[in-house]
Structure 1
Amino acid sequence: MTRTPNRRLLALALATSLASLHAAPSMAQTASSASDSRFTVSDIRVDGLQRIGAGTVFTYLPIERGDAIDSARISEAMRALYKTGFFEDIRFDREGDILVISVTERPAINTLTLSGNKDIKTEDLMQNLKEIGISEGETYDRLALDRVTLELNRAYNNRGKYNVEINPTITRLDRNRVDVTINVNEGKAARIRHINLVGNEKYEEEDLREGWESNESNWLSWYRRDDQYSREKLTGDLEKLNEYYLDRGYVDFSVDSTQVAISPDKKDMFVTATLTEGEVYTVSDVKVTGDTVLSKEQIDRYVLIKSGQTFSRTLLELTSDSIIAALGNIGYAFAEVNTVPELDREKRTVGINLQVVPGPRVTVRQIRFKGNTRTTDEVLRREMRQFEGAWYSQAAIDRSKVRLQRLGFFESGSVEVETEPVAGSNDQVDVVFNVKETTSGSFTFGFGYSQLSGLTTTLQLSQNNFLGTGNQIGVEVQRNTYLQRYSFSFLNPYFTDEGMSLGYNVWWREFDNSDFNTAQYSTTSAAAQAVLGVPLTENDSISLVFGIDRNQILAFPGSSPASIVDYVDAVGQSTFHAWRAELGWARDTRNDFFTPTYGTYQRLSAEITLPGSTAEYFKLNYEFSKYWPLNRLMVLNTRFQLGYGDSYGSDFERNVCFQNLPAPVDDDNNPATPPIQPPRPAPSEPCLPTSPDYRNTLRASGLPFFENFYAGGVRSVRGFRDNTLGPVDFSTASLFRQPVGGAVKTVGSLEMFFPSLLDTPAARVSAFVDVGNVFKDIDSVDAGELRASAGVALLWRAPVGPISISYAFPFRTGEDDELERLQFTFGGAF
C-alpha cells in the first residue's frame, strides 16, 4: 500500500531540518542531507527484514550500486518500496557511501476466520476477501480490513439487515504474524410492513404485485421469506412492474420515485413507489435490416411481433432471442440484434427496426474440460454434440451440457459452459465445460441381527463410473440365516463409438425363506444374461436382454399358500428352466440425472420366456414420469407404472391323489375357526380308483407365482409396508397373512418438489399423493380397490449415500392392510 503524501512530506521536512545540522560524514545521515552533498552509492544495506528477503527489496528498488543519487532519486525509491505494500515504515540513511534502508514490515496473516455469517456463504466471503488482498499468507493491511468492514455492512444492508455488526479482531503473534477473526452478528432482516403503489389507475395493485419476491408479512412468510426487505429483490420487482406495463403496450410507463422508510428500531420497512402509466401503443411496422445471413422467409418465421398488435416487450425480446439463436446455431456465436424503436406519440404507435449484426462466423478450436479429477476426458468427450473444427452451434453445446448432466457423475446443476475467444483470431473460440464431480457409486458393508434372521452380513458395491471410464459395475454379497445372494454385473455404455452398449449379469441366490412380507416358499436360483443397448436418437434407445436361468422352488404344504403348492404340483416338478428375452424402448428428455426439474422419462419393455422353457409366459411393463417446472419454488412430478403378465401356450394340468387327512380341530374337538385347509403331504401317485386318498385335478395357468408383481413401500405406494398390497392368502395352517402378489400392477403418484426450500442442490423436500395396488389378474382389476396415501418426503444425496425418508398418511385402506407411516432407505457411498 502506498504511503500517504502527508507522511512523505513530513519525512522530507525532517530530513531537511537534519541536514541543517551539518553532521559529520562518519555519522548516519538522512537521505535528504545526503542529497545535499550528492554521492555515489558504493553499497546498499537493508535493515529490519524478517520475512521478506533482501533480494525482493532489490527487485523493486530503482537504485543500484554505482548510481549517483539525490533527493529526487530517494523520493522515487521510497515511492517504489511503499507501492509494494510490504512495509509500514521506510527510512533512508547514509553511512559514508553506503545507503542504509531501514524498514518495518507489515505482518503476515497467519489465519483468517469468519464466524456468525449465515446469510452469505463463507466460501463467497473468502473469495471476495482474497480479491481485496485479505487472505492467509498475505500481508496485513488495516485499511483493506476497514474497507472489508464497510463492504460487509453494505452487503447486509442490501439484504435488509440493518442491525448487522461486523467486529474484526486482530491477534498479534510472534515472527511478525497476526490472526484475523471477523465476527458477524447478522441480526434479523427488517420486515416489510406495507407496500404502496401510487399512480396505478388501469390495474389493481394486487394484479401488479403478483409474482413479486417482496411482499408484506403474511401467513406464508415463514417459508417464502418474501417479507424480508432486500434492495436487490425490490429492484427486481420494480423491473417486473415495468415489464408488466410494457407487455401491455404502455411504452411511456415509468417508475418516477421509490421511497423506503425504516422504523426507528430498524425492524420494519415501508415501501412506496410512484408511477406514471401513460397510454397504450400499437405496432405500426416491423422490419428486419442488416446482414440477416438467413433468407427473408427464414427470418420471418422468427418474427413474433406483428404490425397492428399491441406493443409487447416480451414478444420483441423473444423475436431478438430467436434470431440470435438461429444464427448461433450456424456459427455466428457473437450475433446481435439491435432494436431501434420509432415512436409516434400523436398516433400512439411504435415502429420497430430490428438491425441484425451477425459478426464473424466462428469455429470451435478446442473443447476442454475442467474439474473432472476422476472421470477421463474421453468419457466426457463422447457425450459432445459440438465438435472441434466445426461451426459453433449453441444448440449443440446446450445438448452436450444436458448429456453431461444426465450421466450422474456430477453434482446437480454443476455443469457450466464458458466460451473463450482465441487470442489473435476473431473467427475461433474455445468451449470449456466446468464440472464438479460427485459420488457416482455406493458401497454398503454392515452387520445386522434379529431373532428371525439371525446375523446378517451385507457387502454391496455399485459404481456407475468405474475408475473414471464410464463403465458400470456392480457386486453384491449377502448372507443371513435365510438368504445367500451373490451377483456381478458389468455394462460398457460405449462398446462402440456410435454408442452401442454391451454388458452382462451373473447371479446366484438361495432363499431358505423369503423376507416376511411375501409368501412363504424357498428358492435356489441362478442366471446369466447378456445386455445390448442401441441408441436410436438423442433421446430414444432400445435394449435387448437375452439369458438363461434356473429356479428351484420348494413349497411347504401347510405353510406355503395353497395356490403356490398347487402350482408346483400341477407342473410336476420344482425346478424351472427358462430361456429369457426382453426387448425395451426408452425415451429420456430429463435435464438432470439426480434432481431433474423438467423433462420426461418413458420406458416400455416386454419380457418373454421362449418356447421350450419349463413355464411359458410374458410380462409387460410401462413407466412414465414427467417433471413440470411451475415456478422457481416448485416442480411437479407426475408418474405412473403399469405391469401385466400372463402365460401363453398350453396350461399345466395333472390329476393327483392326496392323503385324506381330517380337518384340524380345536381343544374342544370342534372344527377350527376360521376354517383352514388341512395340511397335506406331497401327492402320491399313481392314483388308484380304490385308493382311500382323494383325487384332485390341479391346473397351473397364468403368470407363475414367482414372477408376480408386488406393491407397497417407499418406492411405490408409501405408507404401506413393502410388498404387502394386493392379493393375500389366509388359507394355510400358519394362520398369518401372506401377500402373494398378482399379475397386474398399477401405481401412480403426484409429487410436488420444493428445490429451494433447502439451500443445497443435493436435497429436496416434497409433498406427495400415491395411488396403486396389485390385482390377481386382468379380470380382477377394480378401481374401488386402489389404495392411496399422502405425505411428505426428504430426498438427500448425503455423503453416506442417497437417503429417502417419507412420512405418509394412508387415507384409502383395506381392513387387513399393513400400514407403516415412517419409511426410509439409505445406502453408504464413497
Structure 2
Amino acid sequence: MTRTPNRRLLALALTTALYPAVVLPAMAQATDPAPATSPLASAPAGSFTVSDIRVDGLQRIAAGTVFTYLPVERGDTLDSARAGEAIRALYGTGFFEDVSLYRQGSILVVQVRERPAINRLTLEGNKDIETEQLLVGLNDIGLSEGNTFDRLALDRVTQELTRQYNNRGKYNVEITPEVTELDRNRVDLKINVKEGKAAKIRHVNIVGNDSFEEKDILAGWESRESNWLSWYRRDDQYSREKFSGDLEKLNSYYLDRGYVDVSIDSPQVSISPDRQDMYITAGITEGEKYTVSSVEVTGDTVLPKEQVERLVLVQPEQTFSRRLLEVSSDAITATLGNVGYAFAQVNTIPDIDRENKTVGINLQVVPGPRVNVRHVVFKGNTRTGDEVLRREMRQFEGAWYSQAAIDRSKIRLQGLGYFEEVEVDTQPVPGSNDEVDVVYNLKETTSGSFVFGLGYSQLGGLSAQVQLSQENFLGTGNRMSVQAQRSDYYNSYNFSYVNPYFTDNGMSLGYNLWFRDYDYGEFNTAQYNSENGAAQAVFGIPITETGSITGLFGIDKNTITAFRGQTPESIVDYIDAIGQRTFHAWRGEIGWARNTLNNALTPTRGTSQRLWLEATLPGSTVEYYKIQYNISKYWPLSRWLVLNTRGELGYGDAYQDPVVRNVCYTAGTYEDTNGDGILDTYVPGPDPTEPCETGSPDYVETLTADGLPFFENFYAGGVRSVRGFRDNTLGPREAPFAGSTYLQPVGGAFKTIGSLEMIFPTLFDSPGARVSAFVDFGNVYRDVDAFDASEFRASTGVALLWRSPMGPISISYAYPFQKEDGDEIERLQFTFGGAF
C-alpha cells in the first residue's frame, strides 16, 4: 500500500519534466467556490470521475478529432497517470503546441493551443536542386501547404538541405527559413537558399601506384582537377557520391588488370579555409598480379553446356580480369533470360592460390524457375490507344519471358515518336515464382498540333500557315496532315494520310494530295515559276525488324513559266526543245529503309539509312530517274558527347533518247535601262514558231533536251546541307543572257553532302534541346563527269536545335573555311515555326 503514492509521485515528476507547460490533474476537486475552473494540480491529491469533457482553444481542428485521440471518456476515473497518458496522446498527434488539463467540478477541461497551418510554402534561390524535387522532400517530412507547422521539422529541413548541397560540393550554402505569422493561426513559410559556389577540385593525388601512370588511372574518374571542359562536364566539382564511385573505379582498375589483393588505404579529402578548394588523396596498395589457372562452368546450364561455355571470355593463362568475368556472367544471364529464365544468376566462385599467384574460376549457373509473362501493362498513355502500343510489342502475354524481346519492344515504342520517355519495369506476380508482369511507363509528348500563325526563315522569309497535323490521329497511330501555307516565294496546299498498320503484319498505306505554286527566283535558284500538283498513293512493307520496303505511285502535273533574258538560257532552251511548258508524269518510287535509332526524336545511338529510286514511267512528258541514298549514324562517345556522321548522295538522268527540235526565233533586243551606256536588259521578240519554213525568222536554232530536267535538279547550301552558305546557292550557276554578271544557281544532277556533328545531349535539362558543333562539306555538280573533290565547300560552327511548344527551332552559326570567290556566305542561319 505504501508503494502506490510513490508511483504516483514518480509519474507526476516525469510528466512535469516532459511537459513543463502543462498543469497536471489533482486527485480531488478544490473546495473553494472561486475560481469556478481550477487547475487540477491545485487540489489535494486524489482522483475523480469525469462526468463530461470540454475542449477549449480549438480554431481549425474539430472537437471530434480531439475526442478520437483522447484516451479518456465520460464515466472514466481520472488520476495522474491517466492524465499524463492523455497529454502525451494529444501531443503525439502533432496538432498542438500546448496542452493543459483543468477540472471544473466533475468536468474535465482540455485547454489546447493549436499549431499554425502552413498557408504558403515557397523556396527562393535554389538552382542546383529543382523546386519540385525539394517540395516533394518537404512534403515527405510534413512541410507542405495546408499541413500543420512544426518548427522541429523546419530544423530538420535546414539540416537536410545543407547536407544535400554539401554532397554537391557546395559548402558555403546558407539555408535561412522565414516564418510570417498570419491571422486565423496561419503562417507563410519561406525558405531562402543561398547556394554559393561549388568547391572545385584543385588537386587529385594517387599514392602507391607503382605499376600504372596516374593519368591513366584517373582517365575514367568523374572527379577531376579543373580543365578546359569543366564548364560543361562539371567534373571539377567535388561530390561525395562521385568520389565514392571513383574509389570503386580505382579498385576495379586494378582488379581488371590482375591485382586481386589490391586495397585502398584511407582516402583523404581536405578543404581550404575559404571552403572553395578541395584536395583529394587516395592511397593504394597494389599487391601482385594474378593469372587465371582454370575456368569451369557448373550448375544447371539449361542450354547445352558447350553453348554456354562459348559465352565465357575468360580463358586459362590470361591475366585475371573482373570485368571479363562480369561480361561473361552477364552474357550467360542474358542468354538464359531470352529463353524465359528471368531470374537466372551466375555465381562466380574464385579459388585464389596466393603462393603461385593464380586464380581458378568456377562459374556456377543457377537458372531459377522459367518465367512466363502474365500481363503487358501500359501506363501514362492518355491519348494513344492500347492497340497502337500492343502491335509494337515483341514480348507477348502468355509467352516465355525474353529480355531481348522486352528491350526491342521498348525501342519500337520510342521509335513511334509519341513519347518523350519510355521506361520498362518487370514486376513479379504476388504468390507466384514463375510469372511476371511487364510494365511500360510512358510519358507522352506532342505528336501533333493545330497551327495558325507565322514562321520565319532566311530562305523563305515570313510565312503564314494554317495546319492541322497529327502523328497519332485520334490515338490510332495513323498520321494525318492538312496544311495551307503562304510565304514570299510559294503557296502550298497539302493533305496526307497514312495508316502504318493497314494490315496486321505491318503493311502501311497512305495518300498524298498537294498543289504548290513556287517562285523559284525567291528561292535562291534560277528565275522561273512553277505550278504543280499531284495525287499519290504510298505503301510500306516491313521485311525485317528494322528494315522496310517503301513504294509510291502517282500522277502529277507541273507548269513552268520562264522568260528568255530573265531565266538562264539552258532552262529556256530545254522548255523550247520539249515544245511545251506543262509536264505530265506518271511517277513511281521504290525504296529501302533501315532504322536502328534508339529514339525517334533525340537519338544518341543507332543508324538510319534510306535508299530509293524515283522515276517517271513511259508515257510521261519527260522520262527520267533519280536515285538517292541518305545515312545518319550516331556514335555515343560518353554521356556528355554523341558523334553524328551523316552523308547524302543523289544522282539523276534521263533514260529516254535526247529530244531534238529546230526552233525559229525572231531576235529580241537589248536595252540600256540604267542609262549608263550598257545594254543590260534583254527584251525578247515574239515566241518561237514552228515549222521553221514559215514566216521570216531572224535565225533557226537546233535545241536538245537531255539529261535530268532542270526542275528536278539537286541543290545544296543552307541549314539542311552545308551550313554557312545561303540556301541552294552551291553548285553550277548561269547568267540569264550573254554578258550578264547576275549568276543564278541552277542546281545539278549529282549531289554529295557530308557532315560530322558533335552533340552535347546533357548541356540542357530539356530532352528537346540540343547543342552541337559541326563540320559540313559537299557540293552539287552538273553531272557525275563534272565531279571534282577540290570543288567541295566546307564550314564549321555551332548549332542549337530545340523542339519548342511553337514548333522546331534551328539556329546555327557557321564559318566557311573552304570557299571560292562568288560564293554567297550566310554565317547566321535560322528557322522558326512549323509544327511537328
- Identify the TM-score tier after normalising by the shorter chain: over 0.9
Q: Distance in 2 between matches of 1:697 and 1:218?
A: 70
Counting only pairs closer than 5 Å after superposition, residues 497-508 of structure 1 correspond to structure 2 as: 497-508=504-515
Deviations 1:282-307 (A, max 9, x none): 12222233333222122212222122
**TM-score when scaled to structure 1?**
0.93
Q: Secondary structure at the match of 2:413?
A: helix
1:686 is aligned, of 673, 686, 691, to 691
Deviations 1:447-472 (A, max 9, x none): 5899x999963323432122332221
Residues 155-214 of structure 1: CA deviation (Å, up to 9, x unaligned): 111222111111111111122221111111111111222222111111121211112222
Residues 621, 642 of structure 1: 8 Å contact kept: yes
Give per-residue Cα distances to partners, 1:509-559, cap 9 Å, x unaligned.
223554240111122211011111111121011111111111111221211
Which sits farther off after the overlay, 521-530 or 46-55?
46-55
- Which residue is 2:4 aligned to? none
Q: Which residue of 1 aligns with 2:621?
A: 614
- Pair 1:538–1:481, CA change in 2 (3 A): closer
CA distance in 2, matches of 1:566, 1:442: 45
CA-to-partner distance for each residue in 1:364-387, whole Å, 9 max, x for gaps? 222222222322333222222222
Alpha-carbon distance, 1:811 to partner: 1.2
Q: Secondary structure at the match of 1:465?
A: strand
1:586 counterpart (555, 577, 593): 593
Greater CA deviation, 553-562 or 441-450?
441-450
Of 518, 528, 544, 1:521 maps to 528
Alignment equivalent of 1:728, drawn from 727, 730, 733:
733
Provide the residue aligned with 1:57 in structure 2. 66
**For 2:333 and 2:461, how far apart are their aligned partners in 1?**
67
> Which residue pairs with 1:716 in the alignment?
721
2:705 is equivalent to residue 700 of structure 1? yes
Q: Answer with 11-20 or 335-344: which moved more.
A: 11-20
Does the CA contact (< 8 Å) of 2:629 and 2:649 recur in 1?
A: yes
Greater shift in the superposed pair: 210-219 or 608-617: 210-219
Preserved CA contact (<8 Å) 1:442 1:827: no
Q: CA 1:338–1:94 in 2, change beyond 3 Å: closer, same or farther?
A: farther
Task: Give the aligned partner of residue 392 of structure 2.
Answer: 383
Which residue number in structure 1 is paired with residue 247 of structure 2? Answer: 238
Name the CA shift for 1:631/1:479 in 2 (closer, same or farther; >3 Å).
Answer: closer
Instruction: Give 1:310's match in structure 2, choosing from 319, 340, 343.
Output: 319
Which whole-Å deviations, capped at 9, do the CAs of 1:478-532 have from their partners, x for residues lacking one?
A: 2367633211111121222222211111011223554240111122211011111
Aligned equivalent of 2:804, options 785, 791, 798: 798
Aligned to 2:306: 297
Aligned to 2:539: 532
* Cα gap change, 1:337 to 1:480, in 2 (>3 Å): closer
Corresponding residue for 2:445?
438
Matched with 2:484 is 477
2:456 and 2:312 map into 1 onto residues whose CA distance is 69
Structure 1 residue 189 corresponds to structure 2 residue 184: no
- Write the distance in 2 (CA, Å) between the matches of 1:224 and 1:145: 34
The two structures have a TM-score, normalised by structure 2, of: 0.92
| Alignment partner of 1:173 is 2:182 | yes
1:340-383 Cα deviation digits (max 9, x unpaired)? 22222111112222233333332222222222232233322222
- Distance, in Å, in 1 between the alignment partners of 2:578 and 2:185 is 89
Q: How does 1:764-779 map to 2 (within 5 A)?
A: 764-779=770-785
Within-5 A mapping of 1:274-673: 274-411=283-420, 414-446=421-453, 457-479=464-486, 483-511=490-518, 514-661=521-668, 672=679
**Is the contact made by 1:557 and 1:680 (CA closer than 8 Å) also made in structure 2?**
no
Counterpart CA distance in 2 for 1:11 and 1:666 is 105
Change (3 A) 1:691 1:585: same
- Spell out, residue by residue over 1:562-586, the C-alpha distance to the aligned partner (whole angstroms, 9 max, x if none): 1111111111111111111111110
Shift of 1:81: 2.8
Question: 2:792 matched to which residue of 1?
Answer: 786
Deviations 1:719-771 (CA, angstroms, capped at 9, x unpaired) = 11111111111143775321111111110001111112223322111111111
Deviation at 1:34, TM superposition (A): 9.8
CA displacement at 1:222 relative to structure 2: 3.0
Amino acid aligned to 2:222: E
Asked whether the 8 Å contact 1:790–1:808 carries over to 2, the reply is yes
Tell me how far apart the structure 1 counterparts of residues 16 and 751 of structure 2 sit (CA, whole Å). 86
Alignment identity in percent? Answer: 66
When residues 380 and 24 of structure 1 are mapped into structure 2, their CA distance, relative to the original with a 3 A threshold, is farther
Secondary structure at the residue paired with 1:236?
helix
- Pairing 1:745–2:763 present: no
2:762 aligns with one of 748, 752, 756: 756
* Displacement after TM superposition at 1:445 (Å): 3.3
The answer to whether the 8 A contact 1:578-1:613 is kept is yes
Distance in structure 1 (CA, Å) of the matches to 2:134 and 2:703: 76
| C-alpha deviation, 1:423, in angstroms | 2.3
- The superposition leaves residues 788-823 of structure 1 with CA deviations (integer Å, 9 ceiling, x where unpaired) of 111111111222221111111111112221111000
The equivalent position to 2:140 in structure 1, one of 122, 131, 143, is: 131
Q: Distance in 1 between matches of 2:630 and 2:271?
A: 55
**Is the contact between residue 19 and residue 33 of structure 1 (CA under 8 Å) also seen in structure 2?**
no
- Summarize the Cα distance change of 1:103–1:529 in structure 2 as closer, same or farther, 3 Å threshold: same
| Distance (Å, rounded) in 2 between the aligned partners of 1:744 and 1:357 | 60
Structure 1 residue 666 displacement after superposition: 9.4
Aligned residue pairs total 822
Give 1:117 shift.
Answer: 1.1
Query: How far apart in 1 are the matches of 2:796 and 2:120?
Result: 51
In structure 2, runs of 5+ residues without a counterpart are 1-12
Q: What amino acid does structure 2 have at the position aligned with 1:694?
A: Y
> Matches of 1:310 and 1:681 in 2, distance apart?
89
| Distance in 2, Cα, partners of 1:48 & 1:423 | 49
Confirm or deny: 8 A CA contact 1:34 1:94 kept in the other structure: no
1:592-645 Cα shifts (integer Å, max 9, x gaps): 112111100000001111111111111101001111111122111111001111
Letter of the 1:436 partner, please give it.
Answer: K
Gaps of 5+ in 1: none
What is the one-letter code of the residue matched to 2:780? V
Q: Distance in 1 between matches of 2:600 and 2:236?
A: 34
Letter in 2 for 1:743: A
Q: Structure 1 residues 800, 662: closer, same or farther in 2, change over 3 A?
A: closer
How far apart in 2 are the matches of 1:401 and 1:449? 36
CA distance in 2, matches of 1:542, 1:273: 58
Measured in 1, the distance between the counterparts of 2:365 and 2:59 equals: 62
Deviation at 1:777, TM superposition (A): 1.3
Aligned partner letter, 1:563: S
Q: Structure 2 CA distance, aligned partners of 1:397 and 1:51?
A: 53
Decide which moves more: 820-829 or 181-190: 820-829
